[in-house]
Amino acid sequence: GIGPVLTGPAMLAGQLSIGWSNDASDAAGDAAAGRTDKPVATGAVSVRAVWIAAVAALLAALAMALAISVLTAVILAVIVGAAWAYNLGLKSSLASGLMYVLGFGPIPAYAASTLPDQPVPTWYATAAAALVGLGGHFANVLPDLDGDRAA
């Protein structure tokens, strides 16, 4: 089937959509902070262009996943949807850690759903992926705590 061919490109398109939606949603704050490492923040690329790219990548990701199976598309929608929800406002809420769990936990199910018999991943593979996500969340937010307290 087409699963082995589209598995990586579908996830890559989803990850591009996540990164671009993050850059677009953070553009004003990044510009105010003087971030010169972000082309959107410097005005080298328009926020509108990045939003268009993010949505196009999202649609491409879901279309490729759907070409594999409905289950694959649903799982990828959960993974990417959690990251978009984080980018669009949940990053500063108590739900931010949950978005990382939802973004990483289903990765074994995503991979398994692309196989012909769509086996159910073991619970411990899913738990390990979710914990990797939660660890990533803490690695991302802990360095910012001192700055947050000062603000």
| pLDDT one-digit tens code per residue, 91-149 | 888 899 999 999 999 999 999 999 989 999 999 999 999 999 999 999 988 776 665 55
Long-range contacts of 60-63 (CB under 8 A, 24+ apart): 60/13, 61/10, 61/11, 61/12, 61/13, 61/14, 61/17, 62/10
Kindly report the pTM of this predicted structure: 0.90
Question: For residue 21, which of 62, 49, 60, 61 has the smallest C-alpha distance?
Answer: 49
The pLDDT of 36-42, averaged and rounded, is 93
